Amino acid sequence: MKTFFQPRMLRTLLAALAISPLPAFAAGPANPLSAKELAARLSTLQQDGSSYIRLRLEVKQPAGTTALQIQIRQLRTKASTNVIYQILWPKERKGEAVLLTSIRNESPKGTLFVPPETTTVIGSSQMKEPLFDSDLCYADIIENFFAWDSQTILGEEMIGRVNCQILESKPGSGQSIYTRVRSWVDPERLVPLRVEKFFSSAEPARRIETTRVSREDDGHHIPAGLSVQGPRKNSVTTLEGSRLNTSVNYEAGDFTVEGLKALKPPVPTGAGAKD
């Protein structure tokens, strides 16, 4: 999340991954922000336009570990969000991809593509389904819960050695698969160090922890690593960003079923390319 996380490196995820996977955050102000101000700043940083990301996604379960190299193409604005997650490795799954689109005030939708020509529609009722059999679901990479109208600061709590503000976000009717989301935000670096997402029970359905925070040359801090636990018992997904390029110019027309088949990454140009 410039994103949850979605922290530019893994914006999604807190989603960005809005956990849109993450965008980078500037340092926080000297005076505390209100709940709406804090959420608005985090939301604006997620709506940062076009970017290309490479990351390693690893799912650890009792039966074994699955590792994937993934490229992400995304266009996130205030009006809409378009993302493509595409597997580059292992070879037997190369090209498998997910397209998700969300237009403001409309339910998200998408398409799953499996080479050579199999496509499956992903409807709004399927947003709970897992992304590439990980502990993230489709909603996690398309929703921006910081943009929801209901935002409340519940208090403070230490995460490691950092005293975080706990921000609770609640969706409007039919706006999300979740009933509420709580984010533990480092107020100095404006980095969510923990995100918990709830269905109807008191226990979180999904927890996303920031495992590594990096500082960019311009002073921005980004969550460069994430750990995700979902509803499945004894299953953990980790994500590690390896490449970020913000010098790309995607348009809505690039996020189509035909676009799912394109594997070539953008050529890094300008200061926005990072390895």
Q: What proportions of the chain, in percent to the nearest 5, are helix, strand and coil?
A: 10, 45, 45
For residues 14 and 85, the answer to whether their CB atoms sit within 8 Å is: no
Mean pLDDT, consecutive 10-residue stretches, the chain (275 aa), reads 40 41 43 91 85 94 96 93 96 96 88 95 95 97 95 96 96 93 92 95 95 72 86 96 85 88 66 52
In a domain? residue 197: yes
Quote the pLDDT of residue 1.
41
In a domain? residue 69: yes
- Count of domains forming the chain: 1
Token code pair at residue 253: 């027309």
Quote the pLDDT of residue 106.
83
pLDDT tens digits, 152-163: 999 999 999 999
DSSP state of 130: B
In a domain? residue 13: no
Which sign, positive or negative, has the C-alpha torsion 164, 51, 118, 61? negative
In a domain? residue 27: no
Closest by CA position to 153, among listed 37, 20, 7: 37
In a domain? residue 30: no
| Residue type present at position 26 | A
> Residue 194's domain is classified under what CATH number?
2.50.20.10
Helices (H), the chain: 35-46, 138-142
In a domain? residue 264: no
In a domain? residue 14: no
For residues 136 and 17, the answer to whether their CB atoms sit within 8 Å is: yes
Range of the domain at 64: 35-258
Backbone angles phi, psi at 234, to 5 degrees: 60, 35
Quote the pLDDT of residue 63.
94
Report the predicted TM-score, pTM, of the whole model to 2 decimal places.
Answer: 0.86
In a domain? residue 12: no
